[in-house]
Amino acid sequence: MAGALLEVDGLTKRFGGFMALNRVTIHVNPGERFGLIGPNGSGKTTLINCVSGSLPADGGRIVFEGHDITSMPAHRRTRLGIVRSFQIPKPFRSMTVLENLGIPLENAAHGRAAEGAGAMEILGTIGLASKAHLRPAGLTQIEMRKLELARAMAARPKLLISDEAMAGLSSAEVDDILTILFRLSAQGITIIMIEHIMRAVMRFSERIVVLDAGERIAEGTPDEIGRNPAVEKAYLGE
Ligand SMILES: Nc1ncnc2c1ncn2[C@@H]1O[C@H](COP(=O)(O)OP(=O)(O)OP(=O)(O)O)[C@@H](O)[C@H]1O
Ligand SMILES: [Mg+2]
């Protein structure tokens, strides 16, 4: 597709003899809110690991803004603007919330994006400003998730990949994270949301791709995905 921000074409990833991703293709457009769903173990995080560069692909091609990044080291992909948040938050425990934004901000300043919001401004956008001087141990679960998003924002993403930022949160907290992600989207950031909370993905996404056992089984609008029998079958098998 011409003009896609991210093109993943025929991506294959094996762990030993196990095929975790089998020729998966996804294209994400600039500014899009994109949902990536699928049952546990379907390959969502593996796909993100290959896109961010933390795992090498075994086959296929990954193109970002027209550059082939298939073999590019992870830190260079980050500098191009591909930033992911982790399913399990990994803040620096000995640093305050504010200090946790320092390293990604510094890295971004050495690369593409010297200009942009400062650490306090990012914490404000994410709703964590009042916790700036706490250490991660003093945060609630949702505040930890927000810190993970704030650290991702400090790396100045063009493409933000959110891997299960909402797992284990209450319904009101899910809405809180959704509001933040909509706000980041409105700032022009392209977002891939990986999420098991169907209500949230359906509300957020303009387009959704479904993985099952390492294969892409469906793509469509939330409405189309909601009515797709193959998707229902994949989730029933869980
Ligand atoms: N480093 C690894 N070594 C071996 N197998 C792995 C590795 N990482 C993932 N897998 C396997 O690959 C498959 C896909 O895992 P992945 O974590 O990508 O799934 P997922 O869709 O993110 O699942 P979840 O919704 O539970 O987070 C699983 O069967 C998993 O056990
Ligand atoms: Mg996962």
Q: Tell me the pLDDT band of 108, cut-offs 50, 70 and 90.
A: confident
Segment 2-28 shows an average pLDDT of 96
Segment 12-23 shows an average pLDDT of 97
Coil vs helix vs strand at 217: strand
Q: Are 64 and 74 in contact (CB under 8 A)?
A: no
Q: How far is the CA of 194 from the centre of ligand 1 (A)?
A: 14
Contacts (Cβ under 8 Å, ≥6 apart) of 100: 91, 92, 136, 147, 150, 151
Q: Is 22 in the pocket of ligand 1 (CB under 6 A)?
A: no
Residue 46 CA: nearest ligand 1 atom is: 18
Q: What is the pLDDT of residues 180-194, one digit of tens each?
A: 999 999 999 999 999
- Domains detected in the chain: 6-236 (3.40.50.300)
Q: Is 46 in the pocket of ligand 1 (CB under 6 A)?
A: yes
Q: Is 41 in the pocket of ligand 1 (CB under 6 A)?
A: yes
Q: What is the pLDDT of residues 121-139, one digit of tens each?
A: 999 999 999 999 999 999 9
Q: What is the pLDDT of residues 196-228, one digit of tens each?
A: 999 999 999 999 999 999 999 999 999 999 999
